[in-house]
């Protein structure tokens, strides 16, 4: 049964108890980062910290030239998203922090609205705002914890079919309307308004996740510690998506699967992890077969792209250490 929207009744926590800063993680996204920082400064944060993971595109120089009031942490090497986010939160030194992807833009009232939500929901360790694509359409951001059923729905596109079925779609986190505040298992890490005390209590992001699934792991540990994870469309954040990973898409696919496997091994029983891993492996086999068939049809440049995709799935499937629960 769909979870009922949360009440927005006020509590004894006061507005003065929370001050919100913004921590942005960047990697070779100089131009979109400039737009991101400009939108953040317009929202009046307590502090803005950008943690750059050794960009080679002039990001640090751009920040110091155009935004002298922004604190910049320039890492000597790419430490990964979770580690950089931990650095940013620690440097902010405020009771609440909006952790933001560099390819996101917030509204001028976003920080006030997210702070108000945390004030009125003191059991929430984190709240994810509504995410939208650049054209204003919804970008779904609430999901169940990984399991065999969710793997099948997400990786086969079954959720797209479910999303077209009234009376059914609101039963699933991947397809509901995202039109009301509610508790959820986890929210997408593109924009996370976190309560720093809760973040510190669970030791922040697990830095063994280089990229992907770090927010899933964090939200799971919040839940285990007795905190709540909320989604609340009190403000909308524009998220481009994939700006820092597009140039290395092949390696990022392997990292995405590896992070999912790491999560399953860390948080699920061996039997449940094995079911989810088998489902993932079946998906990879299916895509390998699909691209193998498509390679038989000569289509010039498209055929070369399909071959590259085929080799990617083959390499992933051949990594037997990846699939052991």
Name the domain count of the chain. Answer: 2
> Do 90 and 50 share a structural domain?
yes
> Do 229 and 275 share a structural domain?
no
> Do 214 and 306 share a structural domain?
no
pTM of the model: 0.86
Looking only at Cα atoms, what is the longest distance across the chain? 67
Q: What tens digit of pLDDT does each residue of 130-154 get? A: 999 999 999 999 999 988 887 777 7
Q: Which domain holds residue 216?
A: 15-141+178-239
Return d(Cα 186, Cα 142) in angstroms, integer: 6
> In the chain, helix, strand, coil percent, each to 5?
45, 20, 35
Return d(Cα 316, Cα 145) in angstroms, integer: 23
Domain assignment present for residue 171? The answer is no
Return d(Cα 241, Cα 55) in angstroms, integer: 18
Domain assignment present for residue 61? The answer is yes
> Do 80 and 25 share a structural domain?
yes
> Do 319 and 189 share a structural domain?
no
> Do 203 and 118 share a structural domain?
yes
Domain assignment present for residue 86? The answer is yes
Out of 222, 239, 256, pick the residue that ends a domain. Answer: 239
Q: What tens digit of pLDDT does each residue of 198-239 get? A: 999 999 999 999 888 999 999 999 999 999 999 999 999 999
For residue 74, the cross-strand partners are 52
Domain assignment present for residue 1? The answer is no
> Do 300 and 226 share a structural domain?
no
> Do 196 and 86 share a structural domain?
yes
Of the candidate ranges 25-29, 87-91, 111-115, 268-272, the one whose mean pLDDT is the lowest? 268-272
> Do 273 and 235 share a structural domain?
no
Tell me whether residue 325 is exposed, middle or buried, using C-beta atoms within 10 angstroms of its C-beta: 0 to 12, 13 to 18, 19 or more: middle
Tell me the pLDDT band of 249, cut-offs 50, 70 and 90: low
Strands (E), the chain: 20-26, 48-52, 71-74, 96-101, 104-105, 124-132, 138-139, 142-143, 182-183, 186-187, 191-195, 228-239
More confident residue, 303 or 143: 143
Domain assignment present for residue 201? The answer is yes
Domain assignment present for residue 260? The answer is no
> Do 235 and 106 share a structural domain?
yes
Tell me: pLDDT of 25 over 50.
yes
What is the DSSP secondary structure assignment for residue 270, as one 8-state letter?
H
Q: What is the CATH number of the domain that holds 31?
A: 3.90.550.10
> What is the predicted pLDDT for the residue at 216?
96
> Do 182 and 112 share a structural domain?
yes
> Do 45 and 98 share a structural domain?
yes
Out of 218, 239, 260, pick the residue that ends a domain. Answer: 239
């Amino acid at each position: 049964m769909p979870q009922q929207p949360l009440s927005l009744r006020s509590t004894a926590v006061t507005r003065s108890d929370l001050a919100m800063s913004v921590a942005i993680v960047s990697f070779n996204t100089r131009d979109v980062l400039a737009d991101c920082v400009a939108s953040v400064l317009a929202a009046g944060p307590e502090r803005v910290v950008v943690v750059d993971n050794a960009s080679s595109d002039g990001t640090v120089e751009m920040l110091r030239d155009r935004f002298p009031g922004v604190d910049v942490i320039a890492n000597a090497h790419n430490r990964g998203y979770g580690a950089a986010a931990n650095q940013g939160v620690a440097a902010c030194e405020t009771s609440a922090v909006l952790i933001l992807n560099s390819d996101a833009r917030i509204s001028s009232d976003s920080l006030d609205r997210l702070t108000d939500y945390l004030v009125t929901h003191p059991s929430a360790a984190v709240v994810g705002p509504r995410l939208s694509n650049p054209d204003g359409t919804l970008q779904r951001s609430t999901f169940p914890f990984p399991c065999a059923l969710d793997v099948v729905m997400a990786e086969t596109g079954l959720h797209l079919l479910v999303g077209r079925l009234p009376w059914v779609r609101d039963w699933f986190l991947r397809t509901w309307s995202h039109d009301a505040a509610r508790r959820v298992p986890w929210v997408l890490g593109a924009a996370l308004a976190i309560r720093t005390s809760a973040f510190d209590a669970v030791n922040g992001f697990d830095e063994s996740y280089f990229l992907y699934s770090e927010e899933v792991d964090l939200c799971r540990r919040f839940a285990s510690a007795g905190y709540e994870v909320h989604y609340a469309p009190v403000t909308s954040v524009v998220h481009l998506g994939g700006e820092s990973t597009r140039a290395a898409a092949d390696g990022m696919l392997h990292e995405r699967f590896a992070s999912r496997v790491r999560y399953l091994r860390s948080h699920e029983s061996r039997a449940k992890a094995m079911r989810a891993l088998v489902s993932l492996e079946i998906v990879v086999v299916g895509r390998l077969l699909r691209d193998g068939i498509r390679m038989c049809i000569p289509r010039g440049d498209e055929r070369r792209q399909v071959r590259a995709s085929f080799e990617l799935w083959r390499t992933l499937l051949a990594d037997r250490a990846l699939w052991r629960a």
